[in-house]
Amino acid sequence: MANHYVQRDLTAEDIFNTGLRDQWYAICPSTFVERGAMQKVTRWGLDWLLFRKSDGEIRMLADRCPHRGAPLSQGMHLGDRIVCRYHGVQVDGGGTVVKVPGMPGCNMEGQQLVTSLPTREVGGVILAFFASAPDSQPVELGIPDPLADPEVSSFLSYMEWKAPWRYALENLLDPMHGAYLHADSHSMSGGETSARFRIRETDRGFFFEKTDQRGKNFDWVEYCRTGADWVDLEIPYPASAGPGGGFGIIGMATPIDAETTAVFFWRYRRVEGWERDVWRFLYRTTIEARHWAVVEQDRVMLEAMALDADQAENLYQHDLGVIRLRRLYRGQAEEQAKALLDAHG
Ligand code: FES
Ligand SMILES: [Fe+2]
């Protein structure tokens, strides 16, 4: 029996461009998938269907009917099942064909023929484990610690950028652009416009940080691999932004396809009691609009960069974080392509 989503012939380049396999990714805000509704999304260059079972649990299926390949998202959501609109085949949330109404007793019944990805909901976002093969077991997911911390109050923002996912991640591993691209912003106008950087290893990734400045601009970022890839960074706030000091950003980027990226930012502050109320009020009334203006500067720059911008670069010391990230991803993409080749010939 055929299963469309076994991708046997992927090259390392394909994997590098559309996302490493066998890790967790942020898919979309939880609010995108209401009970009883179906949400179609493209991730890693493939089409998927999200829905909630009758108990509210999220399911994520390849958006292809196992009969003749019609998109299941054109069908109907009936309780825990999806009914294909073309000939009525019914599939459950685990990807198993439950019923072939036109041919009762058909041998498709009872078989798991549609890829179903393991999912979680964390910090208002649906995450899924993108496996290299239908039977790969999900790795353990370490939730970014600020999202699990009750002392932290965060706001989620979601964007889709017409830029490769590596540009979005590299932008986060590049603190120095704060002092230039965002020099006119309320939070990144201060500090020196030159710096020396260093990489500091951690047991879950590394810090990329300025050696000579902290707390004045975008001065450090931590890159973390905890089953999902994410960054944590800090931006100072002026006193007018209320109590709580600087604010943090947890960032994740997921390839929609090789040229488009889903970007997730949780903007957070460690604030409790009345300080939390002040932060939430100020965020909604003034700070959020300023944040969007800053993020817009990133989006415009990244979308304007050519797809082959990285073919003729002259990198310098500030780009060590970017270099490190690329080396990591290239190496892993090569390993994964080789493993696919070994498994499928
Ligand atoms: S293609 Fe879906 S039931 Fe035929
Ligand atoms: Fe930026």
For the record, the structure tokens of 338 come out as 């080789």
Q: How confident is the model at residue 89 (pLDDT cuts 50, 70, 90)?
A: very high
Regarding whether 303 and 221 lie in a shared domain, the answer is yes
* CA distances, 158 to each of 137, 152, 272, 295, 341 (Å): 28, 19, 25, 11, 35
Provide the pLDDT for residue 2.
Answer: 55
Burial 179-199 (b: 16+ CB within 10 A, else e): bebbeebbbbeebeeebebee
Q: How far apart are CA 99 and CA 241, in angstroms?
A: 58
Q: If you measure from the C-alpha of residue 172 to the centroid of ligand 2, how many angstroms do you get, rounded to a whole number? A: 7
| Whole-structure pTM value | 0.95
Domain that residue 79 falls in: 23-130
Q: If you measure from the C-alpha of residue 42 to the centroid of ligand 1, how many angstroms do you get, rounded to a whole number? A: 20
Candidate of 4, 49, 63, 68 to mutate for ligand 1, largest count of ligand atoms within 8 Å of Cβ: 68
CA-84 nearest atom, ligand 1: 2
CA-68 nearest atom, ligand 1: 1
User: Which of 130, 155, 179 is the C-terminal boundary of a domain?
Assistant: 130
Whether residue 345 is contained in a domain is answered as: no
Whether residue 335 is contained in a domain is answered as: no
Whether residue 139 is contained in a domain is answered as: no
Whether residue 15 is contained in a domain is answered as: no
Query: What integer best gives the mean pLDDT of the chain?
Result: 93
Whether residue 136 is contained in a domain is answered as: no
Q: Give the residue, by CA position, lying nearest to ligand 1 atom 1.
A: 68
Regarding whether 298 and 236 lie in a shared domain, the answer is yes
Regarding whether 181 and 105 lie in a shared domain, the answer is no
Provide the pLDDT for residue 113.
Answer: 95
Range 210-231 average pLDDT:
95
Provide the pLDDT for residue 238.
Answer: 79
- Going 24 to 45 to 330 to 341, the CA torsion angle's sign is positive
Does 256 or 236 have the greater pLDDT score? Answer: 256
Provide the pLDDT for residue 237.
Answer: 82
Is the pLDDT reported for residue 345 higher than 70? Answer: no
Regarding whether 265 and 312 lie in a shared domain, the answer is yes
Q: How many CA atoms lie within 13 A of 228 on its CB side?
A: 26
Whether residue 6 is contained in a domain is answered as: no
Regarding whether 67 and 208 lie in a shared domain, the answer is no
pLDDT in tens, 163-194: 999 999 999 999 999 999 999 987 888 888 89
Is the pLDDT reported for residue 317 higher than 70? Answer: yes
Provide the pLDDT for residue 135.
Answer: 73
Is the pLDDT reported for residue 53 higher than 90? Answer: yes
Provide the pLDDT for residue 5.
Answer: 61
Ligand 1 proximity of 84 Cβ (cutoff 6 Å) = yes
220, amino acid identity: W
Q: How confident is the model at residue 133 (pLDDT cuts 50, 70, 90)?
A: confident
Provide the pLDDT for residue 240.
Answer: 79
pLDDT in tens, 147-170: 999 999 999 999 999 999 999 999
Provide the pLDDT for residue 329.
Answer: 97
Q: How confident is the model at residue 4 (pLDDT cuts 50, 70, 90)?
A: low
Candidate of 82, 84, 97, 99 to mutate for ligand 1, largest count of ligand atoms within 8 Å of Cβ: 84
Per the structure, the count of domains in the chain is 2
* CA distances, 100 to each of 60, 75, 90, 133, 337 (Å): 21, 14, 6, 26, 36
Is the pLDDT reported for residue 245 higher than 80? Answer: no
Is the pLDDT reported for residue 134 higher than 90? Answer: no
Provide the pLDDT for residue 297.
Answer: 97
Q: How confident is the model at residue 1 (pLDDT cuts 50, 70, 90)?
A: low
Provide the pLDDT for residue 299.
Answer: 98
Is the pLDDT reported for residue 57 higher than 90? Answer: yes
